[in-house]
Structure 1
Amino acid sequence: MPSPEFLAVIAITCLAVISPGPDFIVTSRNTLVAGRITGLATAFGVGFGLTVHVAAAIIGVGVLLTGSAMAFTVAKTLGGAYLIWLGIRTFRGATNDIPEGGRTAMTPVQGMFWGFVTNATNPKTAIFVVSLFLTVISPGTPLMTQLGYGVFIAMAHVIWFATVALLLSAPAVRAGLLSVKKSMERAFGAALVFFGGALLTGSR
C-alpha cells in the first residue's frame, strides 16, 4: 500500500500540474503552430526542466532559492524576462499562414528547448518542488525514494502536457484552431507576457 508521504506527493503534484501557467501556454502554442510531434516534444522539454528543479532540491541547492531574497530576485528576473521576450516574439510573429509541404515553423528539437527553458527558468516551479521536498518528504526518506518522487513529478508533467498536445492536435480541434491561428498566437503571446510580468512584480 502506498505510504501517506507518497499519496501526498501524488495529490499535490496533480493539483500543481493542471494549474494553468507558462508550460501550458507554450505547449499549446507549439502544438498549434507546428503540430503534434513538436507539441509532444515540448511536453518532454517541460519534464526535463522539472528534473533541474528536482536535482536542485535533492542536493540542497534549491534551498538557496527559498532562503535568499537576492537569489530569488535574480531567478525571477531572468525567468520573467524570458517569458516576456517569448511572449513578444510569439505576438509579433503571429500569422494565419500555414507551412506547406510538411514543413513546420518549429522543429521538435526547438519545441523541446522551449519547453525545457520555460520550465527550468521558472522560480515558482522551483519553489513548488523545494517546498514539496522540505515539507512533505521526510529528511529520512531514502535517496532512491526521493529520486523516485522526482521521476514521478517530472513524468506527471510530461503525461499531462502530452495529453494537452494530443487533444489540441486532433484533426477536428486543430482545424478549428488554425482557422483563428493569428488570434490564438497573439493570445498565447499576451498570456506569456502577462505571466512574465506577474513573475517580475510578484512576491514569493
Structure 2
Amino acid sequence: MSFESWAAFTAASAILLVIPGPTILLVVSYALGQGWRTALPMALGVALGDFTAMTLSMLGIGALLAASATIFTLLKIIGTGYLIWLGVKLFRAGGTLKAEPRADAAPAIRMTAHAWLVTALNPKSITFFVAFLPQFLDRHADFLTQMLVFEATFLTLAFANALAYAIVASRARNLMRNPKAIRAVNRTGGTLLVGAGIATLAMRSAN
C-alpha cells in the first residue's frame, strides 16, 4: 500500500465523517439535551460501532478479493458510482439537522451502547464500507496490513469527529440549528464526494 493511497483514504474519510448522518444526529441529540458530558461516551460508542461495521465489511471484501479479481474490480466501479450518487444526494439535501434534544438522563455506558448499536447495526454502514473501501485497496499488497491501517485511521478520525460534534453541539447549540451552516456543510461535502468519485474513476482509467 502506497502513502498516496493512505493519504487519499484519509482525506476521503475525513470528508465523509464530517457529513451529518444518523450517528451524528444521535450524538448531537444527546449533546443538545445533556451537554458536554455526553461527548466521550458517545464518541467511544461511534468508534466501536464503526469498528464492528468496518471489520465485517473488510472480511467480506477480502473474501471477494480472494474469489475473483474481476468481481473485485466490478465492485470498485460500482463503489465509484455510489460515491458520486451520495455526493449529488447530499448536495441537494436541505439545511436542517433533525436532531431533537434528549432530556432523559442516561448513564455513560448506556450512551456508549446506544451509539454503538446505531452505528454498527445500520445496514447502510456495511453497504457504505463495502462500496467505499475497495477504492483504496491494492489487491497485490498484503490484505491484513491494509485492513489494520485503514481501520486504525478511520476509527481515529471517527472518534475525533464524533467528539467534536458533541462538544460543538453542547457549547454552540444555535450553530447546530442554523440552516445556512448545515446547508454549507452538505453542499461542501456533496461537492467533495462527487469530486472524489470522479478522481477515483479518472485514476482507474489512467492506469
TM-score range, shorter chain: 0.5 to 0.7
Q: Which stretches in structure 2 are left out of the alignment for 5+ residues? A: 65-74, 76-98, 178-207
The question of whether the paired residues in 2 share the 8 Å contact of 1:62 and 1:126 is answered with no
CA distance in 1, matches of 2:126, 2:35: 29
CA distance in 2, matches of 1:61, 1:110: 32
Pair 1:49–1:30, CA change in 2 (3 A): same
Q: CA deviation at 1:63?
A: 7.2
Residue 162 of structure 2 corresponds to which residue in structure 1?
Answer: 161
Pair 1:55–1:166, CA change in 2 (3 A): same
SS in 2 for 1:48: helix
Give the counterpart letter for 2:145 in structure 1: M
Equivalent positions of 1:136-151 (< 5 A) are 136-142=136-142, 143-151=144-152
The share of aligned pairs that are identical, in percent, is: 21
CA distance in 1, matches of 2:37, 2:50: 20
Q: Which stretches in structure 1 are left out of the alignment for 5+ residues? A: 68-89, 99-103, 181-204
CA distance in 2, matches of 1:11, 1:61: 21
Pair 1:61–1:140, CA change in 2 (3 A): closer
Equivalent positions of 1:6-155 (< 5 A) are 6-60=6-60, 105-142=105-142, 143-155=144-156
Question: After the TM superposition, which parts of structure 1 deviate over 6 Å for at least 4 consecutive aligned residues?
Answer: 61-64
SS in 1 for 2:137: coil
Q: What is the TM-score when the length of structure 1 is the normalising length?
A: 0.59
Residue 89 of structure 2 corresponds to which residue in structure 1?
Answer: none
Structure 1 residues 36-80: Cα deviation after superposition (integer angstroms, max 9, x where no partner) = 22232112101110111221123227979xx9xxxxxxxxxxxxx
Aligned residues: 141
CA distance in 2, matches of 1:161, 1:115: 10
CA distance in 1, matches of 2:62, 2:38: 30
